[in-house]
Amino acid sequence: MTFLPPTLSTHPSAPPCRATPTPAHRSALGQFMTPPGVARFLASLFPQANTPTCRLLDAGAGMGALSAAFLERCAAGALGFTSLAVDAYEFDEVLLDGLRQILAGYADRLPLVARVLPGDFVEQAVSSLGLWGGPRYSHAILNPPYKKIQSHSRHRLLLRQAGIETSNLYSAFVALALALLEEGGQLVAIIPRSFCNGPYFRPFRDFLLERAAIRHLHLFASRDKAFREDGVLQENLILRLERGGVQGPVTVSTSTDDSFADTLEHLHPFERIVLPGDPERFIHIPTSPEAPAHEALPGLDHTLAALRLEVSTGPVVDFRLRDWLRDQPGPDTVPLLYPVHFRAGRLVWPLADARKPNAIVQHAETAKWLYPAGCYCVTRRLSSKEEKHRIVAGVVDPALLPGVSALGFENHLNVFHQDRHGLPALLALGLAAFLNSGIADAQFRRFNGHTQVNATDLRGMRYPSRDLLTTLGAWAKTRGDLVLAEVDEKLETLLA
């Protein structure tokens, strides 16, 4: 094996060399080291080569676990390369010596030319793309850093130069690696699932889907097993992309953990992964070969727009309106509603022992933050990982708020409304019962892999008709509960 000297300089803000990377040090850089089993699985996803030459990109290489797993597969003769080159980029100087030693271990086993490139991958990749549109790689394997990018940071400005708009380093690394691949090039990465939905990652989804075909998606059934040593609770997925490929069916696999002992694999049409006509291009991940319950129900086919309904994030950001908030209601206030004011779907207000304000002053200065009094369906924007369902919905019953002319909804609530006015009572009850159902939860989980429930996600769902929601609301009203064990059975009857 030949080592070539790096041609790119170390980033001036690189951390000083340490003997070992501490957890705090790794966290500061967004590092999560790849377990050996995960590295081997990523390497196994690359198809048999149709060319004798391989140029591998490992961006955010760490200690070289992913490159090593790929080279082990090459050494076993599985990929058929007669010439290999590896570019391993790593920002953290603590890891560089170990990375060089790992790659040097293949000196006698493979016809390999390897470069360890210190410094900032984002800066170097954008520079490379801008100067000569390259280099071009045939393969890329990544476990990129997971860290937010500030909107006015140098990284964000550099990425925009390359036509990439994204808010996290992991998606930036994947987009840049994809841009550096030759046509037909293969990219395999393990990344958080959060890019599959939500408005912030819409430009990244567009970038990915316009330049590559999705070939494989893998999910871990257990949220905390893939990176257990780092205490990661973010749901992760593994994906394989083909640069410039014609999109066809997608292989979806699942396993409980990083042993991959119980891996199941199924093939799905792409129309089940990205729904035709979805302007947000959410990426859905089915986990069984059967069509999910919500697809099999013919009546579950209405968008919120078709229902003449809207959903918005609660407009009251409490720290910005602190001077107008009151712990308890008074003669000049109206209710301010937080998630804590909803228990088992029902409004409980005011709360004498609440740590949050119960009221907001009604004034010309606060009018634009308030909704007219009425009946509203609301959901929490954050659910805990222990909750059975991601979506937790409740109803504002105006009968419980006599004499109230307006309402404040805090920013951790999503509000379903009609042109910023309330809903018919039975419609609101039925909508809340539906959102609390297992059918709605299963639909939501196919594109949402975290505990946030954003208004954009709720707009991307499919709902029963207004008439069916009203019928469901009348049924739920007779039971006096909006978290009903039998709601799915009732829904299946109504929607059949």
The pLDDT score that the predictor gives to residue 294 is 60
> What is the residue-wise DSSP string for 46-69?
SPPPSSSEEEEEEET-TTSHHHHH
First to last CA, the chain: 64
Assign 121 a pLDDT band (cuts: 50, 70, 90). very high
Say if residue 66's pLDDT is above 80: yes
**pLDDT (0 to 100) of residue 16:** 34
Does residue 269 sit in helix, strand or coil?
coil
The more confident residue out of 28 and 457 is: 457
Average pLDDT over residues 109-121: 94
Instruction: Give me the percent of the chain exceeding a pLDDT of 70.
Output: 87
Residues 201 and 155: beta-carbon distance below 8 Å: no
- Better-predicted residue by pLDDT, 484 or 18: 484
Q: How confident is the model at residue 203 (pLDDT cuts 50, 70, 90)?
A: very high
In this predicted structure, the answer to whether residue 233 has a pLDDT above a threshold of 60 is: no
Pairwise pLDDT comparison (441 vs 295), residue with the higher score: 441
Of 447 and 20, the one with more pLDDT: 447
Per-residue confidence (pLDDT) for residue 446, from 0 to 100:
83
Mean pLDDT along residues 102-118: 93
**pLDDT greater than 90 at residue 445:** no
Q: 23 versus 407: which is more confidently predicted?
A: 407
Mean pLDDT check: name the lowest of 101-110, 294-303, 361-370, 391-400. 294-303
| Residue 12: predicted pLDDT | 31
pLDDT at 80: 87
Distance CA 177, CA 184 (A): 13
**At CA 189, angle to CA 33 and CA 63, rounded to 5?**
30
Instruction: Name the pLDDT band for 354 (thresholds 50, 70, 90).
Output: confident
Mean pLDDT within 327-341: 96
Res. 338: pLDDT tops 80: yes
The CA distance from 6 to 273, in Å, is: 40
Contact 426, 473 (CB under 8 A): yes
Please report the pLDDT score of residue 60 as a whole number. 93
Q: What is the pLDDT of residues 18-53, one digit of tens each?
A: 345 544 444 444 446 788 999 999 999 999 988 899
Domains plus CATH for the chain? 2-290 (3.40.50.150), 310-495 (3.90.220)
The β-bridge partners of 453 are: none
Average model confidence (pLDDT) across the chain: 87
At residue 234, the pLDDT reads 60
120: confidence class by pLDDT, cuts 50, 70, 90: very high
Mean pLDDT of the region 303-325: 96
Task: Kindly report, residue by residue over 409-431, the tens digit of the pLDDT.
Answer: 999 999 999 999 999 999 999 99
The residue with greater pLDDT, 354 or 361, is 361
* Residue 384: both structure tokens together: 């805990």
pLDDT of 327 above 70:
yes
Provide mean pLDDT across the span 384-407. 88
Q: How far is CA 460 from CA 64, 110, 214, 257, 446, in A?
A: 39, 49, 21, 29, 11
Q: Helices (H) and strands (E) in the chain — how many of each? A: 14, 21
Q: State the Cα–Cα distance between residues 347 and 339, nearest whole angstrom.
A: 9
Per the rule left: phi > 0, alpha: psi between -120 and 50, beta: everything else, 37 is alpha
Residues 6+ apart with CB under 8 A from 311: 304, 414, 415, 416, 417, 455, 458, 459
Q: How confident is the model at residue 182 (pLDDT cuts 50, 70, 90)?
A: very high
pLDDT value, residue 299: 84
**Does residue 139 have a pLDDT over 50?**
yes
Q: How confident is the model at residue 257 (pLDDT cuts 50, 70, 90)?
A: confident
- Answer yes or no: is pLDDT of 386 > 70: no
The owner of tokens 């369902």 is 389
